Amino acid sequence: MKQAVIEHVTTNINSPNHGELQTFLPKSIIKAFNHTSIGIIYVGFGGKIQCYNEKILEILNLKILDDVLPTYQEVLSYVSKTLKNPKDIENLFAIEIKEYYQKQELVIETNKGRVLFCSSQAVVGDDGLIEGVVWSVSDITEHKTQERIATYRSLHDSLTQLPNRTYLFKKLEKLTDPDKETKKKFALLFLDLDDFKGINDKYGHSVGDQFLINCASRVRNSLRVPDTLARLSGDEFIIILDEIDSHDLVEKVIQRIYKSLSNSFNVAGIQIPASLSIGVSFYPTESVRPRELIRQADKAMYQAKRQGKNTFCFYDSTMES
């Protein structure tokens, strides 16, 4: 098909001269119609384009060559080739204009990252039959971008950019969902930086914040891709080791973490060593409830602190006594 360019708005596509508007509408209304932020196209019975505005051409990147207008099906076919997922509008191909009683709404994403909101409205004649359909198309890329940014911010810590407490509990609830047919085992690690308050008190919070960021980065780089490192609060972090229920495998990960932190950090010209206490619990061995798993790992972490800090400890039921 020829790539489409509709150069002028017209209420009568069949007019002999497409370069001249054949309309009874005042010029002010035509101008507003052309400069609205919403693209509009009216498709009549039989799939003929009857009316459109310039914005629809800009949004869909349509062009018409030699004054030859595409049919509705040709427009759909052209647009589908520009989409990230062509199946998004496949269902529209099967709908005849006369069957558009049901309002159609869909959000589609182009292969260039633009997001479009499309909505149809049937044009019904005095006899109750559909004479055509008006499609309005809006470019909501910026809105969706802001929406994605807002979603990201709601689920990530603003300082370290790690998943936050909300993200963590959403993931744990999903992993421990009692209705799931197959339940994956995992290890939960509770990490606490030793004597972090002393760093803040001695060097200030800006140095402490940068120290936290650097520690989080090294720890994250010690993990596998499917593992999750989240900031619980302050200097406390949680790691979910996906599909790991072996003490030996957990110890190997922990040793990688300690190795990554073995060299002190240079923050604002200050050399600061890192010390980390870690507690470990297992799902579903110790518990099937997220908060209980965290509590158990927290108990094990404090046991590690009592053992001299900068070490790790596995949860054991004897810790409850």
Catalytic residues: 235
Judged by DSSP in three states, 162 sits in: coil
The radius of gyration of the chain's CA atoms, rounded to the nearest angstrom, is: 30
Q: What letter represents residue 274's amino acid?
A: A
User: In terms of Cα–Cα distance, which of 140, 104, 99 is closest to 121?
Assistant: 104
User: In terms of Cα–Cα distance, which of 99, 302, 269, 86 is closest to 191?
Assistant: 302
Q: What letter represents residue 166's amino acid?
A: T
- Judge contact between 123 and 41, C-beta under 8 A: no
- Judge contact between 21 and 8, C-beta under 8 A: yes
d(CA 282, CA 256): 19
Which residue is listed with tokens 């427009």? 75
User: How do 130-139 and 39-44 pair as beta strands?
Assistant: antiparallel
User: In terms of Cα–Cα distance, which of 71, 75, 47, 72 is closest to 61?
Assistant: 75
Buried b (16+ CB within 10 A) or exposed e, 77-104: ebbbeebeeeebbeebeeeebeebeeeb
* Residue 254 tokens, joined: 């922990």
